Structure 1
Amino acid sequence: MRTVYLNGEYLPENEASVSIFDRGFLMADGVYEVTSVLGGKLIDFDGHAVRLQRSLDELDMRSPISKEDLLEVHRELVRVNEIDEGMIYLQITRGAPGDRDFVFPDPETTTPTIVLFTQSKPGLADNPAALKGMKVISIEDIRWGRRDIKTVQLLYPSMGKMMAKKAGADDAWMTEDGFVTEGTSNNAYIVKGNRIITRGLSNDILHGITRAAVLRFAQEAQMEVEERNFTIEEAKDADEAFVTSASTFVMPVVEIDGVSLGEGVPGRVAPRLREIYLEESRKAAI
């Protein structure tokens, strides 16, 4: 049984509970982050902490914990749950300020709810899926307009993954006005020649922490990076493609809407970036 963290306490998971009036439950009024653990250490913690604060600020929600204390909670959960490879899920909601109401009170008078728990994922870094690549389908992006805020509004991404599963694929890339925005839980990329192409940052996509690191490593490795919109048709004609996220790192994409990319196997760019990312991230882990 896991030990979890809830509002300042470490508890057995079966003893942790929140109010039925919590706005995270009633209104999806909350944000979250997922930090990977490799070798018992945290990957990109600082990036996740900064993005968490940005999400809270955008929703006019105060943080119930300092960055320093948050780091200690992460480390303690890794220790007590003996996590070598896996993830730590963090969620902060506006809490339960009163009865159900669309209008929320002054953030300074509201006590947020904070929850953290671990997920053990042995073999996370050596995921065999990275050797064969993944298949994606395209679906229309009908989410709300502030995808840059990492909220707990995950129903449509969940439905997108189920659409992909039903179609015999692994995931879905969402499109808006003819252009790819992102995957259901990852940022999307194509490779043409020696150029890595991915959508630029805006309110339309999540500002991925893994995305930022991978693009930095790519440029340091003298790879050309172009941040611009691209279509599904352009993606089908690409030499290769991949996605990035905290849970998959760099994952090759070998098929889009039934069309194989290249020879239908991972190319040279995505596996190399995955190798670099894992190597550099392990060095910088805390």
Structure 2
Amino acid sequence: MSQVYLNGAFMALEEARISPMDRGFLFADGIYEVVPAYNSVLFRFDEHLERLERSLREVEIRNPHDRQQWQVLCEELIERNGGGNLSVYLQITRGAATKRDHAFPEPPVAATVFMMTSPIAVPAADSPDTASGGKAITRDDTRWARCDIKSISLLPNSLLRQQAVSAGAMEAILLHDGFVTEGSASNVFIVHDGVIVTPPKNHAILGGITRDLIVELCGQHGLPFAEREITEAELRQADEIWITSSTREVVPITQLNEAAVGDGKPGAMWKTVARHYVDFKRRLCGLEQE
């Protein structure tokens, strides 16, 4: 029976309850974060907490814990759920008021804090020589103008992701005014003329922790890299396409809509970056070389 954390207490998931007046339930008024842990070691924890703190500031929710307290809670939750390779989901909402009102409660109410864990599937990057890649589709980006906030208001993302699933794809790559923004639940990279390219961070995309690590690794290993806008034509003509997220890490896309990407197999540049990523993860988390 999995253990979760809710408002100061650990409990079985089946025992967790929130008020129907919670603003997360009524208005999607809250933010979330997902932190992977490998070998029970939180991966890039400071970077994830920086993003959580930024999201809270942007929506004007007071952070209920400092970083040390968050770390203690995350580590205890991992231990209570058996340790190993788990993702930790954190959700903070503005809390439950006495009446439904679009304006923030005055005086403020206590935030609702919920945390849970989920197993992490073996990522494609762990086996770059045998990975098969996946399919993506393109769709217009129909989301709101502040995608840089990791908001729990994910209905547009869910609808776009479901369109991908219904098309037999793992992701929908989103386009706005002819340019790539990101995936419905991922950041996007391409390889074009031997250069790794990803869109710059702005209000149209969520600054991914894995995205930023890939950028760092490119710099550390001298890989040709550019952070700039990607046109739809460049996406369709790319030699390689990747998507990145905290739990899927870096995944090759080998089919876009109904066309093969490159030769239809994970590319050489992806394999290079995947190996660098996995080496970094193993060093940081004390994982043995397979």
Q: CA deviation at 1:124?
A: 4.4
Determine if the alignment matches structure 1 residue 218 to structure 2 residue 218.
yes
Partners of 1:207 and 1:111 in 2: how far apart? 28
User: Match for 1:111: what amino acid?
Assistant: A
Aligned positions, number: 285
2:28 corresponding residue in structure 1:
28
Q: CA deviation at 1:125?
A: 6.6
Aligned residues of 1:250 and 1:274 also touching (Cα < 8 A): yes
Partners of 1:194 and 1:176 in 2: how far apart? 25
Q: CA deviation at 1:256?
A: 1.2
Aligned residues of 1:43 and 1:282 also touching (Cα < 8 A): no
Residue by residue over 1:92-112, the C-alpha shift from the partner in whole angstroms, topping out at 9 and shown as x without a partner, is 000112211101135x73210
Partners of 1:53 and 1:75 in 2: how far apart? 19
Alignment of 1:66-145 (within 5 A): 66-106=66-106, 109-124=108-123, 131-145=131-145
Partners of 1:268 and 1:74 in 2: how far apart? 36
1:234 corresponding residue in structure 2:
234
2:188 corresponding residue in structure 1:
188
Aligned residues of 2:36 and 2:42 also touching (Cα < 8 A): yes
TM-score, length basis structure 1? 0.95
1:178 corresponding residue in structure 2:
178
Judged with a 3 Å threshold, the aligned counterparts in structure 2 of structure 1 residues 125 and 16 are, in CA distance, closer, same or farther, namely farther
Partners of 2:136 and 2:233 in 1: how far apart? 13
Residue by residue over 1:77-106, the C-alpha shift from the partner in whole angstroms, topping out at 9 and shown as x without a partner, is 111111311211110000112211101135
Comparing 167-176 and 51-60, the one that deviates more: 167-176
User: Match for 1:2: what amino acid?
Assistant: S
Residue 234 of structure 2: SS of its match in structure 1? helix
Aligned residues of 1:160 and 1:172 also touching (Cα < 8 A): yes
User: Match for 1:112: what amino acid?
Assistant: A
Residue 132 of structure 1: SS of its match in structure 2? coil
1:260 corresponding residue in structure 2:
260
Q: CA deviation at 1:171?
A: 1.1
**Structure 2 unmatched runs, 5+:** none
| Percent identity of equivalent pairs | 36
Residue 109 of structure 1: SS of its match in structure 2? coil
User: For the aligned residues, what is the CA RMSD?
Assistant: 1.7
User: Match for 2:138: what amino acid?
Assistant: S
1:167 corresponding residue in structure 2:
167
User: Match for 2:142: what amino acid?
Assistant: I
Aligned residues of 2:192 and 2:234 also touching (Cα < 8 A): no
Partners of 1:19 and 1:282 in 2: how far apart? 41
Partners of 2:120 and 2:222 in 1: how far apart? 33
Residue by residue over 1:151-208, the C-alpha shift from the partner in whole angstroms, topping out at 9 and shown as x without a partner, is 0011111111211122222210011101110001100011013211111011010011
User: Match for 2:227: what amino acid?
Assistant: E
Partners of 2:110 and 2:191 in 1: how far apart? 46
User: Match for 1:247: what amino acid?
Assistant: T
Partners of 2:246 and 2:71 in 1: how far apart? 17
TM-score, length basis structure 2? 0.94
Partners of 2:285 and 2:29 in 1: how far apart? 31
Residue 73 of structure 1: SS of its match in structure 2? helix
**Structure 1 unmatched runs, 5+:** none
Determine if the alignment matches structure 1 residue 48 to structure 2 residue 48.
yes
